[in-house]
Chains A and B, each alone.
Chain A
Amino acid sequence: MTKRKWKTRTGLAALNLFFLVLCIVTLIPILYALSVSFSGSNSLLSSDFSFIPRDFTLTNYRKVLLGENITTWFRNTVFLAAATVLLSLTAAVPAAYCFSRRRFPGRRMILKGLVLLNSFPAILSMFAIYRLLRPVGLVNTRAGLILVYTGTMAVFSLWNTKGYFDTIPSEIEEAARIDGATDFQIVRKIVLPLAKPSIITTALQVLIYVWNEYIYATTFLTGEQKYTLAAGLNALQATEMTGSWPVFSAAAITVSLPVLVIFFLCQRYMTSGLTAGGVKG
């Protein structure tokens, strides 16, 4: 073996070792939670901890999956997420189509305004929204929260779908128009099928936003019956932490699983949406 070949081999081995260590370090908090979630609660405070749970048990997961609270929270979250996604898309897609294809007075101004609005952090208007929704009786209701979530994601949804429409060449639509198709037919039969990737991206982003949102949910909802998973988990962690760390980690893992699956299945869509729809006017 030549000296040079030997050198690149050791270099490569070192590189692999480096990435192996890095991956383990990255996963430590998750692995630890995973291990705690499978162990009986008494092994928790012993100082010689290992990443392999010693007295392996499924009790924590049973508590999570059969516990009344978490199934209610799950149902609430699914309902809120579905309604928000549906409403967001229904509002965003026709508007995005107009802003991409049509020219009308005020269009440029509105688009510029949207970019600026996007820099306003939603948390900052939380108090104003609370005060506005309370007299109308929308605080502590699902409808109110759906309205808040849809509003928060409205700029993003419009912008993201519009950005994608811009990349679809309009020649196909013109050809269809010459063949006598109406606007509605063009949108339904040509534009929507072509825009599927961006609609999926937008839907996913809205879904994940609702799934992960905890601060509006804990502020606007009172009573654990109405909580979403994120709000419930947050409450679980804040109130009875020390007693239920194994249950909490089991719940955390359970809640993360669907998001992890969606993320890795749709990774392609996630990144294209984040970068392509981003900044360009």
Chain B
Amino acid sequence: MKEKQKKRYLQSYAWSAPSLVLIGLMVVFPILYTFYISLTNMNVYHWFDFTVVGLDNYVRALFVFDSGFLSALLATIGWTAVNMVLQLVIAFVLANLLNIRQLRLRKLYKTILMFPWAMPGYVGILLWKTGMFNTQFGLLNQWMQRLGFAAVRWLCSDISAFLCCTVVNLWLALPFMIMIMDGALQSIDRSYYESARLDGAGALARARYITIPAMRPIIAPAVIITVFTTFKQFDVVYLLTQQAGAKTGSGFHTILTYAYENAFITNNYGYSSAISIIIFGLLLLFSVKFQRKEEAA
């Protein structure tokens, strides 16, 4: 019997091996290697003859304020907060409106609203960049000029770049959130609303005491995933403002574009790796915390 058990274990390991080896080689090992690089002074001038410098890169990232990491981190937290609040509120309102029973064209509207999600993400972002925000022939400036205003360089200053990125991010992310909320709304038993209406509860009271509590457990996993993807946002900010060779001059960075810039544009590999490890640590902390919450719930 024991022999047989052992054989089954071995078989399980053998069947899992290709996947686990792949993950080990292409995910785990690069992370460990990144950690090693973070302890060195590797950069363009020290490609082979780098030396181990200990925690210097971490000190520089965490305790030298004008190194830029802490401000990028703060900007990323602000970015996540603003985007999540707007996303949840807008998606909640739209999903509720889509569920008004007499709305016959609901299906058509939903399909059209899914388009930004269905497009390849980078194509959508690039279309916004040139089609809408471009200083010369972007639609926004064509409209501004027709209204008699001067052309605006939308992506060039920090705050306006932040707002433009937020608009594009909402455009990309809202369809998913609307769909999740729409699904959650449909799972709520209609009879709750009817008895609440008999008791004289208004629309706001119904939303607050029935809709939101009933939706919360259903949408929680999707919301958590979205918080992570927003925090880890790279494409929107990079493609709109930070592309190598086409920087717009905006200083708005999320931590990921900041890490990318330090690795591939200013070539501070050691420093960039230290930032990567710090970001990974932060994400680990969050995900462990969320997991605990989920298990408790």
CA separation between A110 and B28, bound complex, in Å?
A: 12
Per-position 1/0 for A194-226, Cβ under 8 A of B? 000000000000001001101100010000000
CA separation between A158 and B19, bound complex, in Å?
A: 8
CA separation between A18 and B97, bound complex, in Å?
A: 10
A115 within 8 A of B: yes
A98's contact among B12, B272, B288, B294, by CB below 8 Å, is which? B12
Contact call A22/B123, Cβ cutoff below 8 A: no
B27's contact among A104, A155, A234, by CB below 8 Å, is which? A155
Pairs across A and B, CB under 8 Å, 20 listed: A19-B103, A23-B113, A26-B113, A26-B171, A90-B18, A95-B17, A95-B20, A98-B12, A102-B12, A110-B20, A114-B23, A119-B283, A120-B280, A126-B263, A132-B29, A151-B26, A212-B121, A238-B244, A248-B126, A260-B119
| Cβ–Cβ < 8 Å partners of B246 in chain A | 238
CB distance from A16 to the nearest CB of B (A): 7
CA separation between A259 and B114, bound complex, in Å?
A: 13
Q: Which residue of A lies closest to B287 (CB)?
A: A119
Q: Which of A42-50, A59-67, A167-175 sits within the interface? A: A42-50
Contact call A119/B130, Cβ cutoff below 8 A: no
Contact call A23/B20, Cβ cutoff below 8 A: no
CA separation between A28 and B128, bound complex, in Å?
A: 9
Contact call A252/B30, Cβ cutoff below 8 A: no
CA separation between A255 and B127, bound complex, in Å?
A: 13
| Cβ–Cβ < 8 Å partners of B98 in chain A | 19
B115 within 8 A of A: yes
Q: Which residue of A lies closest to B222 (CB)?
A: A275
Main secondary structure of the interface of B (DSSP, over half): helix
Interface residues of B in 267-297 (CB under 8 A from A): 269, 272-273, 276, 279-280, 283-284, 286-288, 291, 294
CB distance from B232 to the nearest CB of A (A): 5
A72 within 8 A of B: no
B155 within 8 A of A: no
B179 within 8 A of A: yes
| Cβ–Cβ < 8 Å partners of A26 in chain B | 112-113, 115-116, 171
Contact call A120/B31, Cβ cutoff below 8 A: yes
A27 within 8 A of B: yes
Query: Given A120-B31, A129-B30, A238-B243, are A8 and B102 neighbors across the interface (CB < 8 Å)?
Result: yes
Contact call B146/A151, Cβ cutoff below 8 A: no
CB distance from A200 to the nearest CB of B (A): 17
Q: Which of B67-75, B136-144, B157-165 sits within the interface? A: B136-144
| Cβ–Cβ < 8 Å partners of B286 in chain A | 119
| Cβ–Cβ < 8 Å partners of B269 in chain A | 127
A29 within 8 A of B: yes
CA separation between A44 and B235, bound complex, in Å?
A: 27
| Cβ–Cβ < 8 Å partners of A212 in chain B | 120-122
| Cβ–Cβ < 8 Å partners of B121 in chain A | 212
Contact call A279/B30, Cβ cutoff below 8 A: no
Listed residue (B12, B112, B256) with the most chain A CB atoms within 10 angstroms of its CB: B12
CB distance from B295 to the nearest CB of A (A): 8
| Cβ–Cβ < 8 Å partners of A242 in chain B | 136
| Cβ–Cβ < 8 Å partners of A124 in chain B | 34, 256, 259, 276, 279-280
Q: Which residue of A lies closest to B133 (CB)?
A: A29
| Cβ–Cβ < 8 Å partners of A18 in chain B | 97
| Cβ–Cβ < 8 Å partners of A275 in chain B | 180, 221-222
CA separation between A281 and B260, bound complex, in Å?
A: 32
Binding site for B on A (CB under 8 A): 8, 12, 15-16, 18-19, 22-23, 26-30, 32-33, 36, 44-45, 47-49, 90-92, 94-99, 102, 104-105, 110, 114-121, 123-129, 131-132, 147-148, 150-152, 154-155, 157-158, 183, 208, 211-212, 214-215, 219, 230, 233-234, 237-238, 241-242, 245, 248-249, 252, 255-256, 259-260, 263-264, 267, 271, 274-275, 278-281
Contact call B142/A230, Cβ cutoff below 8 A: no
Per-position 1/0 for B228-244, Cβ under 8 A of A? 10001010001000011
B25 within 8 A of A: yes
Contact call B8/A102, Cβ cutoff below 8 A: yes
CA separation between A36 and B26, bound complex, in Å?
A: 42
Query: Given A94-B18, A124-B256, are A49 and B142 neighbors across the interface (CB < 8 Å)?
Result: yes
Interface residues of B in 1-50 (CB under 8 A from A): 8-9, 11-13, 15-20, 22-23, 25-31, 33-34, 37
List the 7 shortest-distance A-B pairs measured between CB atoms, nearest first.
Answer: A151-B26, A95-B19, A263-B118, A125-B30, A124-B276, A95-B16, A94-B15
CB distance from A64 to the nearest CB of B (A): 13
A22's contact among B113, B114, B146, B280, by CB below 8 Å, is which? B113
A128's contact among B8, B11, B34, by CB below 8 Å, is which? B34
